[in-house]
């Protein structure tokens, strides 16, 4: 049982480039989300999804797009990378949808935008 | 809107000493409370959670936390720490509503450094 898998683990982008961070879970969880982690700021929610075909914005959505075509996958797209998007990105999944159960996190993607 | 404040950004402590990591939260509704641990270069792992019932919650690795509704606090404690407890610890809250999908609001994190 792999849990939550994120790829790539590391990435360097040039300003203005686009890319997709991949996230997949094999636990049949309804809820998936993306967070970014910055020093001294904890983790902040970017986008989340409560099921296939349903997504919504979190606290810091600007510059990012998401889609949820299947239960398993929840990719995060950076449309035009900026140095302010240098961060560590975590994908998480959980069930049920009421927030009672724990979120399972991937190992993270460390992104540097130069 | 909810918010979480971890009162200490860094906590240095000697091995076998007790430790308390402090967490206060603000919310206009009832919330669920969590503590997560992050070891270097890894993802987050759940230590413990408070959903309802007994205000003293026991978690993994000998940690426990106490929910205090009047003081809106959820402090994490361990009576005797080990070198292996060196990590960053995050306090988080979520709303118990169906359409919120269990969104987590995190505190800023506390770096626990255990010295020999």
The string of DSSP letters for A52-76 reads TTEEEE-SS-TTEEE--SSSSB--E
Residue with tokens 């000998």: B62
What the block records as the tokens of A76 is 């995060």
Confirm or reject contact between B101 and chain A (CB < 8 A): yes
Rounded to whole angstroms, the Cα distance separating B64 from B76 reads 6
- Quick check: A98 pLDDT over 60? no
Confirm or reject contact between A2 and chain B (CB < 8 A): no
pLDDT at A100: 60
Dihedral angle computed from the Cα positions of residues B11, B38, B91 and A102, in that order, rounded to the nearest 10 degrees:
-160
Which alpha helices (DSSP H) does chain B contain, by range? none
Chain B, 58 to 87: residues with Cβ < 8 Å from chain A are none
Judged by CB atoms closer than 8 Å, whether chains meet at A103 and B49 is answered as no
Is the torsion defined by CA of B95, B101, B106, B111 positive or negative? positive
pLDDT at B41: 84
Partner residues linked to A94 by β-bridges: A31
DSSP count for chain A of H helices, then E strands: 0, 11
Task: State how far residue B71 is from chain A, nearest Cα, in angstroms.
Answer: 22
Contact status, residue A15 vs residue A86, Cβ threshold 8 Å: no
- Quick check: B61 pLDDT over 70? yes
Confidence at B1, pLDDT banded by 50, 70, 90: confident
Confirm or reject contact between A48 and chain B (CB < 8 A): yes
pLDDT at A86: 97
pLDDT at B53: 85
Contacts of B107 in chain A (CB under 8 A): 42
State the average pLDDT over residues B72-97. Answer: 93
The beta-carbon neighbor of A106 closest among B36, B43, B101 is B43
Rounded to whole angstroms, the Cα distance separating B91 from B75 reads 9
Contacts of B106 in chain A (CB under 8 A): 35, 42-44
Residue A80 burial (C-beta neighbours within 10 Å; 0-12, 13-18, 19+): exposed
Contact status, residue A83 vs residue A69, Cβ threshold 8 Å: no
């Amino acid at each position: 049982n792999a849990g939550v898998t994120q790829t790539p683990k590391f990435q360097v982008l040039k300003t203005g480039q686009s890319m997709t961070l991949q996230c997949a879970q094999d636990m049949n969880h309804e809820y998936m989300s993306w967070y970014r982690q910055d020093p001294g700021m904890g983790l902040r929610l970017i986008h989340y999804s409560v099921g296939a075909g349903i997504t919504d914005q979190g606290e810091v959505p600007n510059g990012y797009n998401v889609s949820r075509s299947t239960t398993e996958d929840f990719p995060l797209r950076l449309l035009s990378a900026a140095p302010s998007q240098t961060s560590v990105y975590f994908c998480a999944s959980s069930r049920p949808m009421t927030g009672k159960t724990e979120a399972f996190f991937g190992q993270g993607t460390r992104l540097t935008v130069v | 809107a909810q918010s979480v404040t971890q009162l200490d950004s860094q906590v240095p402590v000697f091995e076998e000493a007790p430790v308390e990591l402090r967490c206060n939260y603000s919310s206009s509704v009832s919330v669920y409370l969590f503590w997560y641990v992050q070891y270097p270069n890894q993802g987050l792992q759940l230590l413990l959670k408070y959903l309802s019932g007994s205000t003293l919650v026991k978690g993994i690795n000998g940690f426990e936390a106490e929910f205090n509704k009047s003081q809106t606090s959820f402090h994490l404690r361990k009576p005797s720490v080990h070198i292996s407890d060196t990590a960053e610890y995050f306090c988080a809250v979520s709303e118990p509503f169906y359409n919120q999908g269990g969104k987590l609001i995190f505190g800023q994190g506390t770096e626990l450094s255990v010295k020999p």
